[in-house]
Structure 1
């Protein structure tokens, strides 16, 4: 009942308490001391989590039961259980309402430290990670920055020890998730301690750790190795890749081995790969460097532009706004936002915490996507986008904009935006304010490129040095489900910009998954005009819908696509830019990073379900700017978004007339020709560019 998912949570916990008390009628201390102590500990846990009753009373009852359990669970007789209960008792004291706050905090710290005497990194790294994380969070909430930093450093060290023993993709993702938010919090501690450059490096170290490792392996410079070493590296890397690909297959696929066997095989092959990499690193100092140093990060900032990296925590926020050309990061490059917290961002996304049900951004979007949506639901979603992007300006992007102006960035200057945490779902580029009675957005002033991390951006820049990515050659996947009215128009517009010898189009039923996977290699441009979706339960099952309603999933993109010549992947489909914000928000696990991992240099994707007609117009303008005028993708996307937003019905009708589409009559006749049909950010702001 304590862990039950179904039913009312409050009722389940009260039932758990009832059954624990009944068990204690038999599990007496005299007859069954160990079971008595275990049940007391579990009963205390239930009281700690209890929803009903007075919170102060529940916590005090939890403390009482933990102390009783410790009468049997002594350090000498049961050291592991003793440490577990000490950890739990510390958590109860940190939450205690009654008594003097300072004394409760001191008692919590004392019990955590006692638990750590047993929970060493050598014997119990996962338990040590848990206790140090709890202790760090306590110090963080008390604004004891130095103590919190030390605790988080220890947590990260223990987490790395656990991660080193995780070999399956699921296990590694889970372990990364255990410490994902601690990098941001420790970076905030460093910032509060005036260690600004270390704060930047720590924030970067916590981003896309799984992707960083995958990119480092995929793009490792093997030319510096001997022929034998190069072959060993290729074989070791391929062995891990093949096992990971098999692990991603559904368990009912013929010939797929069991998870247990694959896990053991992966353990051995990954260990072999790690040993080989460590050996090569000891011989070649420049081989697969771990992360980026400050100089490398600063070197990524585009000329005339800036790097913008938000840092949002439960105790306040900051934004690093670093211009091109600096060789150090000073306090003047930090915008402190002490009043902005994670709770504020969560309220924007989910609605007020004290309101039952999902509200805010995600609630409105969920209702919009519901097949039974009402007219009000349809209208509410664009309204929420407008409201939320206005709030984003006030809470975050407005202060950033003022700092960029102070730095004298010119209009349309390039800005690299490295989102953090929950911000990854939101269109920061579309945040707006009223100016001279008109709305002016962030991209009216600057050109935005999103980057999951500095490391991934560095890899993308390196890939663009490859001559094989320069000549335009297109694979277009157009309307494979044959139910997107405007996709064929979009496809023709894109195809017209490539020489016939340099393009291949898979339309309708011919765009099967097997054919697409076979045809992508060797192309510099991949364009998908189709349905897409995000899987909230398992992000790796998110994907693109191809012919026969087969799904090209994120797992298959990572495992099965070779995009070592791909300059740009355009995902003109719904929800292709959404990423996992629940378990590992700073990993940015989603289709954009999947295509980057498969080898692409840049990806255009979407943050929600997009409008078919508006998308076809935006994409047409984007490609014309990029390919006909030679404008880089980030600038071309900005141009397309601003054009679509400001175009009148008459102008849009002319565009459709130029491609001989029946929508011409609809746009000109069904409204005032001077109206701007697509001003709402719903129509244009979903699109983002990631990479180079």
Structure 2
């Protein structure tokens, strides 16, 4: 974690006004034994008074400008007043003490703090008990001690002195006095500063408690409200750095935003407040990895520098913080300009910070980290040598036992590891391991940074093992990764560690590898936590698409089929499963505990709403601060609700008979809840092996079917053929027809279908004991994973001249797909209670603005409208300008069947922006996910790519068909890729004709939709044969659900 530095003036000091006029009691300050004559004494008193008045004038100007020259003049005239050696009134000493504190704020000279303490002590000592000014002077003395502690970090006794004086000041202040809030704020600052050094939870809690009390009690419009917002935000930020609770950093950002928003322009503290706001965004980035936080941080930290008064040492921290932001952004961009900016700014920070200042070690450490980052790209030994040198200086200048030391050890270990990878000098990796060991040993067991430090130790052990093959090193590496995975901290770091431990233990500690994989699988839901938007969750899951495959392959290697089945269900389609959980009926809970059930529903609905909002729902590219605050308020509420949701789950699971409430299903649950119509076949395609698990109702264990003649490489080759050969983005026209996107190449298709039949589908059907009986085909559900999710299993077979009965999948079974077991189970249960469809919504968009014309969609829907009119089924047609997004959403809620005939788009960059193209825009997948349409039986998507997912999210099944299932639909007919406009009407006609023949007078039955699709496919093949047009017509169509 980078060290963020804030301006110390704002952290600990809130000056208390001295309201005594200059010159009052000046004559009484003269000692009776003064050697001066009366005339000479008058002249001296006038000189002192002039000096103090001049100092006050410069102080006022400094308060407005923040210019270091002005505060230097203040101190100069104060010292002039003191030079006469006379005893002065208490207010003068108090003013002098504040002047030295102000100069320290600008120049950072610790000696100024000694002067400040001395003068404030004199002010307190010379103020009579009961004097109205005493509370303020006690507080100023306390602030001076606290400022010295913050500057030097050496002596916790300073905080005890500060606490004593603050408490005395507060005790001697009358109830209702306007300065009480400032005194309480100072107490909060004390605990906040001490918490950084001690790491004591009680200090963090006290800091937040005092600051929260101040903010809640502050009168509207009070001049110090921005300052108090700032202090509260800082306390939350510090607690986040220690314990890693995401809600804390969301609170910090919210309060820092409010501080900046309500501060008058030109206020001298603005630089510190912008800096803290930027730092809070950086800290949140370390947890969420949302690049928007880095961009926001850079913006705010640039404003901090722009608003920093020139000539002050405060520029040092601001340079450092902006440098941190550029260095972190470099991790994403790998733009050398970013890391060069970072190093330049951090060099300025070091150069402008006085020797011996408490913040200097952190600045040196950050500069070293930036050199280490640049080495990653430059491979210049000079860069890594600089990094090591700065890290060493940082450690040497940090007091023993300081809370910053573990981070310094960690960063030095990283730099030695980097140099080892370049030089292969074993001394470097030995040093790296030594420093990483020191880092973990000196880090508290509940610290949020511990997972990263254990991971770095594990990585260093592994690097040494790879060079020496010394077996204890790999064992230590596994142990370190395990400790990282189990520690408190960022889920993303813990998940990476758990994955590393599992991969290594598969070879070096096989008895424990399944336990390691179990932890990794469980952490997936933490990385894609409910405190994030759906877009963010998908982004976080992109790097883990191979984890479930590795875990399942390992489980099958050890013949643990039940565990393999559980992991396939638990580790896939996480976002859909979370959505389903938020919509889970809780009738049993309501009977047991109505109030708890109602609160659960309320929080679940809030989380669903939060999750389906856009990740960046700001109204403009350059939002105002007010707009940013609104978005941050939404984010904070989202995090609060996610936290409460976890707490509610714990409370519910503590009830009798509810211990497994919304827990991932066990294999026994899956096996006992399947429909009786046919098996569910789940695949696992991994580089080490390919397998299928057939789950059959009434069978106590899944049937394991190894696909011995198939491999991940072959699956990827078949996928590439479809992707590059079949789905090239080109528009074609022939025979007066327009495609809804592209035309595949049939010869390539024949090869793909042949390979899928021989190496995947045929071995499964044989293992399941299917025999040829085309007139009485049973059902089967396919649940493909990895690259197999993009291949047409339902059409696998040998076609053309080599075709014989029993050489394709449709000769044996009626195929459907399901994203997960739970989806199938839910749709099967819903279908058992559904009634026949008596109304259908038809949507046609033949001339979508901005897209190519698909004129036969009009014929398709008009033919269907005519067909329905012959029955008792009501049909509503929305066409052209009537088919708007809002109209379609509204009508979908009152219809049980919907048929779309339009363009569809799969957005490869933002999969949740994929959608159906209507008259006034897209009906996007994200919008579909928001809908709750429990009465929707079936949606027919006669559009392009409606069941084609995202290659990088193959385990999440992010496509329109899955979206319709998520919205509550029991079944969906979709397309894997683009379809021909010419044969769309024929296909739809055959599909609905079959359903109308099957008791159509009673309404359309969605449970027969898969059979209707099977029938329509056969009829089209009978008409067209196995020629080019037949493949283009029927292969893309698939059925999802029950």
**Aligned residue for 1:347?**
717
In the alignment, the residues of structure 1 paired with residue 419 and residue 781 of structure 2 have an alpha-carbon distance, to the nearest angstrom, of: 46
In the alignment, the residues of structure 2 paired with residue 184 and residue 231 of structure 1 have an alpha-carbon distance, to the nearest angstrom, of: 38
Per-residue displacement from partner, 1:568-590 (whole Å, max 9, x unpaired)?
A: 011110011012331x4222122
**Aligned residue for 2:381?**
21
Q: 1:133 to 1:449 in 2, by over 3 A?
A: same
Q: 1:229 to 1:466 in 2, by over 3 A?
A: farther
**Aligned residue for 1:402?**
766
- Give the CA deviation at 1:613: 1.2
In the alignment, the residues of structure 1 paired with residue 637 and residue 918 of structure 2 have an alpha-carbon distance, to the nearest angstrom, of: 33
Q: Write the mapping of 1:327-406 to structure 2, written as runs, cut at 5 A.
A: 328-329=700-701, 333-338=703-708, 340-350=710-720, 360-365=721-726, 368-370=728-730, 381-405=745-769
Q: Is the 8 A contact 2:535 2:614 kept in 1?
A: no
In the alignment, the residues of structure 2 paired with residue 243 and residue 90 of structure 1 have an alpha-carbon distance, to the nearest angstrom, of: 42
1:416 aligns with 2:781: yes
Q: Alignment partner for residue 961 of structure 2, among 584, 589, 592?
A: 592
- Give the CA deviation at 1:178: 5.7
Q: Write the mapping of 1:514-553 to structure 2, written as runs, cut at 5 A.
A: 514-548=886-920, 550-553=921-924
Q: Alignment partner for residue 993 of structure 2, among 615, 624, 629?
A: 624
User: Which is further off, 339-348 or 589-598?
Assistant: 339-348
In the alignment, the residues of structure 1 paired with residue 682 and residue 544 of structure 2 have an alpha-carbon distance, to the nearest angstrom, of: 19
Q: Is the 8 A contact 2:946 2:977 kept in 1?
A: yes
- Give the CA deviation at 1:647: 1.1
Partner of 1:315, secondary structure, is: coil
Q: 1:504 to 1:190 in 2, by over 3 A?
A: same
- Give the CA deviation at 1:459: 1.0
**Aligned residue for 1:130?**
496
Q: Alignment partner for residue 639 of structure 1, among 989, 993, 1015?
A: 1015
RMSD: 3.8
Per-residue displacement from partner, 1:335-362 (whole Å, max 9, x unpaired)?
A: 1135644333223324xxxxxxxxx332
- Give the CA deviation at 1:292: 3.6
- Give the CA deviation at 1:592: 1.6
Q: 1:29 to 1:67 in 2, by over 3 A?
A: farther
Per-residue displacement from partner, 1:370-400 (whole Å, max 9, x unpaired)?
A: 46999xx977643333322222223322211
Q: 1:524 to 1:438 in 2, by over 3 A?
A: same
- Give the CA deviation at 1:443: 1.9
In the alignment, the residues of structure 1 paired with residue 529 and residue 503 of structure 2 have an alpha-carbon distance, to the nearest angstrom, of: 24
In the alignment, the residues of structure 2 paired with residue 82 and residue 292 of structure 1 have an alpha-carbon distance, to the nearest angstrom, of: 34
In the alignment, the residues of structure 1 paired with residue 963 and residue 585 of structure 2 have an alpha-carbon distance, to the nearest angstrom, of: 18
**Aligned residue for 1:353?**
none
1:493 aligns with 2:863: yes
**Aligned residue for 1:601?**
970
Q: 1:529 to 1:67 in 2, by over 3 A?
A: farther
In the alignment, the residues of structure 2 paired with residue 466 and residue 236 of structure 1 have an alpha-carbon distance, to the nearest angstrom, of: 28
User: Which is further off, 28-37 or 383-392?
Assistant: 28-37
Q: Alignment partner for residue 1032 of structure 2, among 662, 670, 682?
A: 682
Q: Which has the higher contact order (CA 8 A, sep 6+)?
A: 1
In the alignment, the residues of structure 2 paired with residue 33 and residue 386 of structure 1 have an alpha-carbon distance, to the nearest angstrom, of: 68
User: Which is further off, 456-465 or 498-507?
Assistant: 498-507
Output the TM-score relative to the length of structure 2. Answer: 0.54
- Give the CA deviation at 1:528: 0.7
In the alignment, the residues of structure 2 paired with residue 601 and residue 256 of structure 1 have an alpha-carbon distance, to the nearest angstrom, of: 40
- Give the CA deviation at 1:83: 3.1
**Aligned residue for 1:663?**
none
User: Which is further off, 522-531 or 439-448?
Assistant: 439-448
Q: Judging by fraction of residues, say which structure has more strand.
A: 1
1:88 aligns with 2:459: yes
Q: 1:28 to 1:241 in 2, by over 3 A?
A: closer
- Give the CA deviation at 1:219: 3.7
1:445 aligns with 2:847: no
**Aligned residue for 1:298?**
671
Q: Write the mapping of 1:79-478 to structure 2, written as runs, cut at 5 A.
A: 83-92=454-463, 96=466, 103=469, 107-117=473-483, 120-123=486-489, 125-140=491-506, 142=507, 145-160=510-525, 163=528, 166-176=531-541, 181-222=546-587, 225-226=590-591, 228=595, 231-247=598-614, 250-252=617-619, 258-283=630-655, 285=657, 289-303=662-676, 305-326=678-699, 328-329=700-701, 333-338=703-708, 340-350=710-720, 360-365=721-726, 368-370=728-730, 381-405=745-769, 412-433=777-798, 437-438=802-803, 440-467=807-834, 469-478=835-844
Q: Is the 8 A contact 1:477 1:527 kept in 2?
A: yes
Q: Is the 8 A contact 1:574 1:609 kept in 2?
A: yes
List alignment gaps of at least 5 residues for structure 2. Answer: 1-329, 337-372, 395-407, 444-449, 735-740, 1000-1004
**Aligned residue for 2:950?**
580
Q: Is the 8 A contact 1:2 1:16 kept in 2?
A: no
- Give the CA deviation at 1:422: 2.4
Q: 1:161 to 1:471 in 2, by over 3 A?
A: closer
Q: Alignment partner for residue 568 of structure 1, among 909, 923, 938?
A: 938
- Give the CA deviation at 1:259: 4.3
Partner of 1:523, secondary structure, is: coil
Q: 1:378 to 1:600 in 2, by over 3 A?
A: closer
Q: 1:147 to 1:384 in 2, by over 3 A?
A: farther
Q: Is the 8 A contact 1:38 1:69 kept in 2?
A: no
In the alignment, the residues of structure 2 paired with residue 396 and residue 194 of structure 1 have an alpha-carbon distance, to the nearest angstrom, of: 20
Partner of 2:951, secondary structure, is: coil
1:75 aligns with 2:457: no
Q: Which has the larger radius of gyration?
A: 2
In the alignment, the residues of structure 2 paired with residue 121 and residue 689 of structure 1 have an alpha-carbon distance, to the nearest angstrom, of: 44
Per-residue displacement from partner, 1:30-49 (whole Å, max 9, x unpaired)?
A: 8845699858846956997x
Q: 1:74 to 1:47 in 2, by over 3 A?
A: closer
- Give the CA deviation at 1:523: 0.5
| Equivalent pairs, count | 626
Partner of 1:612, secondary structure, is: coil
- Give the CA deviation at 1:554: 0.6
